Structure 1
Amino acid sequence: MRILKYILLLILLALVGITVYVATQKGDFEVSKSSVIKTPRTTVFDYINDFKNWETFGSWIKKDSELKFNYNSKTIGAGAKSFWKSSANEGDIKTYFVKENDSIAQKVNFNGTTALLSWTFKDTIGGTKVTVHSKGKMDILTKITTFFKGGINSILGDTYEKSLRNLDKTLNYEMKTYSIKVNGIVQRSSGFCLKQTVSCHIKNVSKNIKILMSRMVRFSTKNKIVLAGKPFVLYNRYDIPNDFATISVCIPVRQKIFISPESDVASGEIIAFTCLKTTLVGDYSHTKEAWSKAQKYIVDNGLKQNFAGNYTEVYVKTIDDVKQPSKWITEIYIPVFPKVEAPKPLLVNAPPKTQPVELPPTIVTPTETP
């Protein structure tokens, strides 16, 4: 028994000694990992730049099934912020610098450990070289716990490698899996909406839609406004030669709501119109192809666009409904004039065969009205 006590005492002293040793070591760390993602740089940058996408590739997230994320109204670009919490982990991350399609700089707090996190994106053979780099300082508890798990550099290095592999797999499948269907002529019903309008360069339309959509949804939640359908975008102007667009991001409501003139949110009315409906199932990067197929259908079927109508995209299923981009649903509505069908020729009742008669002249079918 006495020998056993000595052994236990020695083990305890060893643990205390190791703990003291680890606690007195510097808590600074610096880790960097790179990987080639087989996806164009713009797509990779946009995906990482939106915190709502991180749940699809972050390996540390997949290890903690209890982890729940919350987001600010802004999840994209400088000023975007995300929070997470579970019974074992909590923290937050904020983006403070963004250079379009080139780099992202962020500040992270994870269970008391703070770090600067950066992403860089470079074109390379086969896709995009993505480098993730972190530099920070651990608290005492983190120094001790990570020491017995191989050290912070090993833990973070493994985490970054797995996350980059997940990112490559996600983008390779999710971005390339999609379908487009031209549904045909439908009627868009009238109603009311709340909207926020912005003018920008055409290349910034997609980014502004995401930003304003998040704001409008948060506005409705904060003010306890019941939606009458899915959010949508009105293309008020889309001037390709001058690289200029004006869009309104809208949420449908059950009745007209009066908004104070000082607010950047306005009240609007949805006008009923005849339109061609097209459905895209997949990531928004395929929206341009969906619009092109719809335009081709209009030409091939002799339809005429009603330029006075509302060119609309309805976001039936988004990242807030399902994380996988391949399952997002977007409906496109192009206003057209109803196609006037030619009247059918009048049927002439044939007289009895015993009474030969002369048939009337052929009825001329009127030309189609524009």
Structure 2
Amino acid sequence: MRILKYIFLLVLLAFVGVTVYVATQKGDFEVSKSMVIHSPKSIVFDYVNDYKNWETFGSWMTKNHDITFNYPAKTMGAGANFSWQKDGDEGFIKTYFVKENDSLVQKGNFNGTTATIHMKFKDTVGGTKVTIHSKGKMDLLTKINTFFDGGMSNILTDAFEKSLRNLDKTLDYEMKTYSIKVNGIVQRSSGFCLKQTVSCKIKSLSKNIKIIMPKMVHFFKKNQLAMAGKPFVQYERYDVANDIVTFSVCVPTTKQVFVTSGSDVTSGEIVPFTCLKTTLTGDYSHTQEAWTKARKHIADNGFQENFAGKYTEVYTKTIDDIKQPSKWVTEIHIPVFPKTPVAEPTFVLPTTPAAEPAETTTSPTETP
């Protein structure tokens, strides 16, 4: 019995000794990891810049399916952030600096351990070199926990490596897997919507849609408004010569809703029109190819575009419905004039002439 007490005492002293040793060590850490992602830089940057995509490649997120993620209206660009919880643990990351297609600077906090994260994107042979550099400070509990797992540097190096491998695999499959189908002539129905209208350079169109769309959805949730359909983009002006596009991000409403004057969001009406419907299943980077295929169908089949109509993209299935870009669904509606039905010529079959009555001779009647 006395031996057991001694053993217990030695174990306790050893544990206390290790704890004191770990506690007195520096809590600072600094880790870097680089890897070549076999996709174009603009695609890699846009994907990483949106926090909603992190669930598909973040090593600690993909293996923990019971994590609860919380997303605000803004999830990409400077000021974007998100948080998560799991079994009492809490994490938070916010973007503080963005240089388009070049770099990101973020700050995170996980149960008291803080870190600054720098991400660099650079063109290289075969794709994009992505470098993650993290520098931070651990709290006491994290120092103790990570000590028995090889230290924070080993843990983060492994996590960054797995995340970058996941990113490469995800983009390689998700960006290349898509389909385009021309569905045919349909009728867009009438209704009401709320919308936000913006003008920008054509090259900034995709980025602005990704920024405004979640804001519109968040506006509906915040004001407890019912959506009568999927969000869509309506093109008001597309001026290639002057490199400017004016578009409205719209969300259908069950009835006409009036918004306070001065708001970025305004009330709108959905005007019915005849259009050619084309469906893109896949990432938005293939949208231009879908428009080209739709217009070719119009030309090949003798339709005429109705330039007075509203050119529209309906986002039937988005990142809010499913995380994999290869399964997103976008419907493109190009207004066209209905074809005037051509009257078929009427052929009158000749009839067989009726037999003429036999000629009769009448004898003159004598007058009395």
1:66 alignment partner in structure 2: 66
Q: Count matched residues.
A: 355
Q: Are residues 1:148 and 2:153 paired?
A: no
Equivalent pair of 1:67/1:89 in contact (CA under 8 Å): no
- Distance in 2 (CA, whole Å) between partners of 1:94 and 1:237 is 35
2:121 alignment partner in structure 1: 121
Q: Are residues 1:256 and 2:256 paired?
A: yes
TM-score by length of 1: 0.94
| Secondary structure, counterpart of 1:42 in structure 2 | helix
Q: Which amino acid aligns with 2:8?
A: L
2:102 alignment partner in structure 1: 102
CA apart distance, 1:88? 4.3
1:343 alignment partner in structure 2: 343
| Secondary structure, counterpart of 1:54 in structure 2 | helix
| Secondary structure, counterpart of 1:91 in structure 2 | strand
CA apart distance, 1:349? 2.8
CA apart distance, 1:353? 8.7
- Distance in 1 (CA, whole Å) between partners of 2:187 and 2:129 is 47
2:190 alignment partner in structure 1: 190
CA apart distance, 1:9? 1.2
**Higher mean C-alpha displacement, 115-124 vs 4-13:** 4-13
Q: Are residues 1:83 and 2:96 paired?
A: no
Summarize deviations over 1:271-301 as a string: whole Å, max 9, x none. Answer: 0000000000000000000000011111111
2:316 alignment partner in structure 1: 316
- Distance in 2 (CA, whole Å) between partners of 1:353 and 1:141 is 110
- Distance in 2 (CA, whole Å) between partners of 1:217 and 1:31 is 37
| Secondary structure, counterpart of 2:207 in structure 1 | helix
2:267 alignment partner in structure 1: 267
| Secondary structure, counterpart of 1:312 in structure 2 | strand
Summarize deviations over 1:274-330 as a string: whole Å, max 9, x none. Answer: 000000000000000000001111111111111110000000000000000000000
Q: Which amino acid aligns with 1:106?
A: Q
| Secondary structure, counterpart of 2:238 in structure 1 | strand
CA apart distance, 1:354? 8.9
Q: Which amino acid aligns with 2:205?
A: V
| Secondary structure, counterpart of 1:226 in structure 2 | coil
Equivalent pair of 1:236/1:247 in contact (CA under 8 Å): yes
Residue pairs, 1:154-169, within 5 angstroms: 154-169=154-169
Q: Residue 138 and residue 346 in structure 1: after superposition, are their counterparts in 2 closer, same or farther (change >3 A)? A: same
| Secondary structure, counterpart of 1:351 in structure 2 | coil
CA apart distance, 1:65? 2.3
| Secondary structure, counterpart of 2:308 in structure 1 | coil
1:219 alignment partner in structure 2: 219
1:237 alignment partner in structure 2: 237
Structure 1 segments unaligned to the other structure (5+ residues): 356-370
Q: Which amino acid aligns with 2:98?
A: V
CA apart distance, 1:202? 0.8
1:363 alignment partner in structure 2: none
Structure 2 segments unaligned to the other structure (5+ residues): 356-368
- Distance in 2 (CA, whole Å) between partners of 1:125 and 1:29 is 31
| Secondary structure, counterpart of 1:75 in structure 2 | coil
Summarize deviations over 1:123-178 as a string: whole Å, max 9, x none. Answer: 11110000111000000000000001110000000000000000001000001000
Equivalent pair of 1:31/1:157 in contact (CA under 8 Å): yes
| Secondary structure, counterpart of 2:306 in structure 1 | coil
CA apart distance, 1:10? 1.0
Structural RMSD (CA): 1.2
Summarize deviations over 1:51-79 as a string: whole Å, max 9, x none. Answer: 00000000111232221111111111000
| Secondary structure, counterpart of 1:264 in structure 2 | coil
2:247 alignment partner in structure 1: 247
Residue pairs, 1:6-21, within 5 angstroms: 6-21=6-21
CA apart distance, 1:85? 0.7
CA apart distance, 1:352? 3.1
**Higher mean C-alpha displacement, 276-285 vs 65-74:** 65-74
Query: Which protein has the larger Cα radius of gyration, Structure 1 or Structure 2?
Result: 2
Query: Sequence identity, in percent?
Result: 68
| Secondary structure, counterpart of 1:66 in structure 2 | coil
1:205 alignment partner in structure 2: 205
